[in-house]
Chain A
Amino acid sequence: MESTLGLLSFGAGGWGDEIASGVVVTVTLALATLPLGLAIGFFVALGKQSSEPSLRLAANIYTTLFRGLPELLTLFIIYYGAQIALQQFVRLFSATASIEINSFAAGMVALGVVFSSYASEVFLSAFRAIPRGQYEGGYAIGLSHWKTMRLVVLPQLVRIALPGLGNLWLILLKDTALVSVVGLSDIVRQTGIAARVTKEAFLFYGIACLLYLVLAVISSFAFNAIERRVGRMEHAR
């Protein structure tokens, strides 16, 4: 027990500080991916509920593609693909240059496109839950298309989509573990290093799992708070 505490202590002899930095990286990656995924997902959902067939087709191709590919493969394709493409671009200028892609950026893009393809489905079903009369009412009082969207539809959309987006956030949090494979120092990678050095694999991977559980619990508390707030806004009207 004494030695276990020593292994987990912060400082030179323990792995506490390394693992804590991993937690920060995991949370940062998930938080950085969230706005990217939400924004793309929203616009893809707009495309999907458009009356224009070609726009619907383009949006559906996007979702089919990124929902069908394994997340790990998407990550590898973006990580190595971008690396090769940039390499060849740089070679045009100097023959010896080599480029390393930042694994954080590659992870953010890969998780962002996966998140957005699922988020677009959540937004789409929320769009369908809003009656046509809401748009017509907006136009009737003279609001433009964008103002109707922003002032009338969007506030209701957020409320309806919130539970679905909460689930996607939990999935995103877990998917960040994959980026450790391309070298990002997140929870899984940091605990993995500690496991290899100390030969206490069960302890450290167990801690990794517990940390993800703690993040999930914190997230669900946060989501409950947000939902209560949004619900109160509902009652205040």
Chain B
Amino acid sequence: MSVDATGFGHSVEDAPPSVVRPWTRTRILGHVLVGVWIALGMGLAAFLILSWNPDLVSRYAPNYLSGLWVTIQLVVISVALGALLSAPVAWARTSKNPLIAAPAYAYVYFFRGTPLLAQTFLIYYGLGSFKPQLEAVGLWVFFREAWYCAILAFTLNTAAYQAEILRGAVASVPKGQWEGAASLGLHRWLTFRKIILPQAMIVALRPYGNEIILMIKGSAIVAIITVYDLMGETRRAFSRSFDFQTYIWAAIIYLVIVETLRIAVDRIEAIITRHLRR
């Protein structure tokens, strides 16, 4: 159907022809690389289908599920406890009193500057060498368990990172916001809760999301201190079956979790910044 809407005698069919893109070297390379990824993906799918073993699945699938549950518990508990601990640390970091600021700085520097693996070993194996003293104060039942040690190590680690995120986000809110609230006669705590924090959270959302993703990925190391999380169950399944697909399934599960979280952060950011969109 030709509609002459413009009045210049042109019809819709005369719209500019689609551009024929030449096969440049870049384009060929791009298609080859995408082809390689598709081939790898299909090869992986073929490997998983060909080596599909109902016996293996029925034996290890429940273990994977319980491992996944352990991973989720570990991350949720330590991120939540870390958030609680990070608030006083972030406050102490910004204190003008060096006796308060210096220990907080040392704490943050230590836990951000050393590997999570070494911290976990220090708490699980290291505190084990104080067994008599810990037994005397009744704390040994806590430090005896790898699970509690893992939660303690992860909480201390993520609290240091979260303290820096929180501090940076609060500092990013302009000083005029504090002054404006003060001139309205608002109390400092009320100002912080109603004016500063909502604006800081917009800045902090993405770093918080990244920190949770880092914790999910980092939580894999508890497998080394005999906690059977997703990674621990995977290692156990591999050492019993010597079937490489055990690792592939773990990789797929981790990727799905991390990507879901990334998409969720994008959605939340779109919602809480809708007043800034033009």
Instruction: List residues of chain A with CB under 8 Å of any chain B CB.
Output: 47, 50-59, 61, 64-65, 67-73, 76-77, 80-81, 84, 170, 174-178, 180-181, 187-188, 192, 195, 199-203, 205-206, 208-209, 212-213, 216-217
A-B contact pairs, 11 of them (CB 8 A): A50-B26, A52-B30, A54-B27, A54-B31, A67-B258, A68-B258, A69-B251, A69-B255, A70-B219, A170-B113, A174-B115
Bound complex: CA of A184 vs CA of B68, how far in Å? 28
Asked if B115 and A54 sit within 8 Å, CB to CB, the answer is no
Q: In the complex the two chains form, what is the Cα distance from A29 to B56 in whole Å?
A: 37
User: With contacts A52-B30, A174-B115, A213-B109 known, what are 18 further pairs, Cβ within 8 A?
Assistant: A55-B30, A56-B30, A58-B36, A59-B33, A65-B255, A67-B258, A72-B220, A73-B251, A76-B235, A84-B244, A174-B116, A187-B118, A192-B125, A205-B118, A205-B126, A208-B114, A209-B114, A213-B110
Q: Interface readout for B176-188 with A: 1 if CB under 8 Å, 0 if not?
A: 0000000000000
| Alpha-carbon distance A93/B258, docked complex (angstroms) | 42
Of B59-67, B77-85, B127-135, B167-175, the segment with at least 4 beta carbons within 8 Å of chain A is B127-135
Query: In the assembled complex, which residues on chain A have CB atoms less than 8 Å from the CB atom of B122?
Result: 202, 205-206, 208-209
Q: Which residue of A lies closest to B261 (CB)?
A: A68
State whether B220 touches A73 (Cβ < 8 A).
Answer: yes
Decide yes or no whether B217 CB sits under 8 A from chain A. yes
Report Cα–Cα, A73/B257, bound state, in Å.
14
Interface-centre pick from B109, B231, B251 (highest chain A CB count, 10 A): B251
In the complex, what distance in Å separates the CA atom of A77 from the CA atom of B114? 25
Minimal Cβ-Cβ distance residue in B for A175: B115
Whether A64 touches B259, Cβ cut-off 8 Å, given contacts A72-B221, A72-B231, A209-B119, is yes
Q: Which residue of B lies closest to A213 (CB)?
A: B113
Closest to A59 in B: B33
Cα distance, A58 to B128, chains bound together (Å): 48
- Given the interface contacts A55-B30, A58-B34, A69-B255, does A188 sit within 8 Å of B220 by beta carbon? no
Contacts of A208 in B (CB 8 A): 114, 118, 121-122
Cα of A181 to Cα of B232 in the assembled complex, Å:
13
Q: Which residues of A contact B26 (CB under 8 A)?
A: 50-52, 55
Complex Cα gap A65–B121 (Å): 29
Do the beta carbons of B34 and A177 come within 8 Å of each other? no
Given contacts A58-B33, A209-B119, contact A70 B254 (CB under 8 A): yes
Chain B positions within 8 Å of A81 at CB level: 244, 247
Complex Cα distance A12/B235, Å? Answer: 36
State A50–B125 Cα separation when bound (angstroms): 50
A69 near B217 with CB under 8 A, answer: yes
Contact B259 A174 (CB under 8 A): no
CB of B218 within 8 A of chain A?
A: yes
A50-B217 contact in complex given A84-B244, A213-B110, C-beta closer than 8 Å: no
Inter-chain contacts of B264 with A (CB < 8 A):
none
Give CA–CA (A177, B216) in the complex, Å.
18
Asked whether A188 lies within 8 Å of B121 as measured between CB atoms, the reply is yes
In the bound complex, residues from chain B placing their C-beta under 8 Å from that of A178 are: 115, 117, 221
Residues of A within 8 A of B234 (CB): 73
- Distance (whole angstroms) from the CB of B117 to the closest CB of chain A: 5
* CB <8 Å contact, B37 and A61: yes
Query: In the complex, what residues of B have CB within 8 A of residue A170's CB?
Result: 113
- Measured between alpha carbons, how far is A188 from B254 in the docked complex, in Å? 26
Q: Is the CB of B129 within 8 A of A201?
A: yes
* B224 at the A interface (CB under 8 A): yes
Residues of B within 8 A of A192 (CB): 121, 125
Residues of B within 8 A of A76 (CB): 235, 247
* B72-111 interface bits toward A, Cβ cutoff 8 Å, 1 = contact, 0 = none: 0000000000000000000000000000000000000110
Are B217 and A71 in contact, CB atoms less than 8 angstroms apart? yes
When distances are taken between beta carbons in the complex, the residues of chain B under 8 Å from A51 are 26
Is B113 a contact of A212 with CB atoms below 8 Å? yes
Chain B residue with minimal CB distance to A176?
B115
- Residue with the greatest number of chain A CB neighbours at <10 A, chosen from B24, B122, B216, B238: B122
Given contacts A70-B254, A81-B244, A192-B121, contact A202 B129 (CB under 8 A): yes
Given A54-B27, A177-B118, A208-B121: A77 touches B33 (CB 8 Å cut-off):
no
Closest 8 CB pairs of A and B: A54-B30, A55-B30, A58-B33, A202-B126, A177-B115, A70-B220, A70-B217, A205-B122
